[in-house]
A and B are shown apart, each in its own frame.
Chain A
Amino acid sequence: MSQLTTVPGARLMLRHARYQFLETVRVPIAVIGTALFPALSMLFFVVPSADLAADPVVSTGATAQLAVFSVMSVCLFTYGVGVSEDRALPWDAYLRTLPAGPGPRLGGRLLNGLAFAVIGLLPLVAIAVFLTAATITPARLGLALAALLAAALPFLGIGMAIGYSMPAKASLAVAQVLLFPLAFAGGLFLPPETFPDWLDTLSTWLPSRAGRELVVGAATGSTVGVLPVVVLAGWAALAAGLAVWAYRCDEGRRFR
């Protein structure tokens, strides 16, 4: 009796992604919010400064680090806050009674987050292309996108760990508290060259900095050492472990 078939996971995953996407996209402000902040940062801090905007390497680097910020914010918010909000909803509990393991729902979430990350990047890249001297070859663009995916991994894990372990209000606070300090100390707003030594040293060990080095390196062709790769891999493994732990402990929202 327990051998009853279930539906193939890959197809179901696409369906989950599709409906999660529809749910979000029908509240347009959610999409606009995601896309707005990195694009606005570019518009306010890079475009008006002739030094930055006219220098191809600097403006390409600035675009790259804001892209890391954009992806990081999508990860912390769609996975962190989004997951914990969903967990509080009866609909999420209901979906967990359907005959599918966690795979399709999680996979759907990943695809959905990816879609929103792309939506968030589009205006940023458009501004970089049309209003600054930023340039990139197709090969470097491909490399930069791959680096961006790698840079997203630790934040994906951290987001999921937050989402599956905390109630919605707490997750919102934690995501915000993590996002800006990590972004600033990781050199996503101001380049690390402007940091005092102590901050530069500390920054080296942060996932945001490691991700930035990778993406900026891929986009501009500056050399990337081994250290950022090791730091990023370490954070990704740690965050994945936390996410799995949080997911296992989760039984939906608990009321005491």
Chain B
Amino acid sequence: MTDDVVLVEHASRSYGAVVALDDVSLGVPAGQLLGLLGPNGAGKSTLLQLLAGLRRPSSGSVRVLGGDPRSAAARARLGMTPQETGLPPTLRVGEVVGFVADHFPDPEPAAELLSRFGLTGLERRQTGGLSGGQKRRLAVALAFVGRPRLVLLDEPTTGLDVESRQALWAAVRSFHADGGTVVLTSHYLEEVEALAERVVVIDRGSVLIDGSLDEVRSRVGVRRVRYTLDGRQVEHLTPDADAFVRALVRDDVRFEGLEVAGTSLEEAFLSLTERVEAAA
């Protein structure tokens, strides 16, 4: 036995002829903040659905908090967000929070939770009348109602303004600082860079890369070379910056203000999935 909060072993899942997940193994120790990246249709959502007990793996096993996520008891310390569009529009904010809280033995008081997510004073509003940012914050707040030990966040800040996003990040960080485990998917690589300690890149149902932020960047090893040529800003991404600069000098390119820098995760990630596509 390990003390992994999430333990996925050789899990595969197919829908008819389509293989969404192909022999994925993944362990997440207690207290880790894991970012799950991949293009749309890569298998992120399927993996999250397996962890939440919404779907069964076609083969392999998935254990969450020491139990099968398909059993209700194993989900007692699991928190998840509904998609923002999924809140029942006719129910009031206070009712939604109360209803979700009813499912947990020791829920966080609604007033405390709402104030933590900047929703104080909205208890009597129907969720259909909230702004996009408020809906999103409410959806994420619901993941924390039951005082979870593991939280699954699927695209938590998609479509949010900067302020709401910062507020959500702060809430996730403080949960993590108190020892909580987080698995987060995001379109925003910036978000994964800001929050995650470990990054798993999934594409076409398989784990491409699994490592720390730095490892992912260095394993992709892409550098950005930037300079000005005839008054125009030029930028190149290259796996070998040294050779690139030597070539510039050899070819007597009249560059000015040469800059060589590491890449953002986004660029690393793009170059990674492109490389796989080129190889395929």
Contacts and interface: CB of A to CB of B under 8 A. Distances in A.
A complexed with B? yes
Secondary structure of the A side of the interface?
loop
A82 B87 CA distance: 16
Contact of B103 (A4, A12, A251): A12
A101 B76 CA distance: 11
Band of interface residues on B: 35 or more
Interface in B114-163: 126, 142, 146
Interface stretch (A67-75, A87-95, A111-119): A87-95
A97 B78 contact: yes
Contacts of A12: 102-103
Contacts of B99: 15, 19
Contacts of B167: none
Given A22-B91, A26-B90, A97-B54, A90 B67 contact: no
A250 B22 CA distance: 22
Interface in B162-210: none
Interface in A129-147: none
Contacts of B237: none
Nearest to A96: B54
B53 interface: yes
B86 A93 contact: yes
B221 interface: no
Contacts of B31: none
Given A1-B67, A2-B73, A93 B82 contact: yes
Contacts of B87: 91
Interface in A6-33: 6-7, 11-12, 15, 19, 22-23, 26-27
Interface residues of A, number: 30
Nearest to A94: B82
A196 interface: no
A191 interface: no
Contacts of B18: 256
B10 to A, nearest CB: 20
Contacts of A254: 15
Contacts of A90: 82-83, 85-86
Secondary structure of the B side of the interface?
loop
A100 B70 CA distance: 10
Interface centre among A2, A91, A97 (most CB of B within 10 A): A97
B75 A99 contact: yes
A4 B74 CA distance: 7
Contacts of B74: 2, 4, 99
B105 A5 contact: yes
Contact of B15 (A1, A5, A26, A256): A256
A100 B73 contact: no
B102 A27 contact: no
Contacts of B126: 26
Interface string B54-92: 111000000001111001111111101111011110110
A123 B54 CA distance: 41
Contacts of A22: 90-91, 95
A100 B104 CA distance: 9
B103 to A, nearest CB: 4
Contact of A2 (B67, B83, B100): B67
A98 interface: yes
Contacts of B73: 2-6, 99
Contact of A1 (B66, B81, B100, B105): B66
B103 A99 contact: yes
Given A91-B82, A254-B15, A101 B72 contact: yes
A252 interface: yes
A97 B72 contact: no
Interface centre among A4, A89, A99, A251 (most CB of B within 10 A): A99
Contacts of A256: 15-16, 18
Given A91-B87, A252-B54, A6 B82 contact: no
Contacts of A1: 65-67
Contacts of A11: 102
Contacts of B91: 19, 22-23
CB-based closest 9 A-B pairs:
A90-B86, A94-B82, A1-B66, A2-B67, A26-B90, A4-B76, A90-B83, A98-B103, A99-B75
29 contacts: A1-B66, A2-B67, A2-B71, A2-B74, A4-B74, A5-B73, A5-B76, A6-B72, A7-B103, A15-B99, A23-B88, A23-B90, A23-B91, A26-B90, A90-B85, A91-B86, A91-B87, A94-B83, A94-B142, A96-B53, A97-B80, A98-B100, A98-B104, A99-B76, A99-B78, A99-B103, A101-B72, A251-B55, A251-B56
Given A7-B104, A19-B88, A89-B86, 16 more contacts: A1-B65, A4-B73, A6-B105, A22-B90, A23-B88, A26-B90, A26-B126, A93-B54, A94-B81, A97-B75, A98-B103, A98-B146, A99-B75, A99-B103, A256-B16, A256-B18
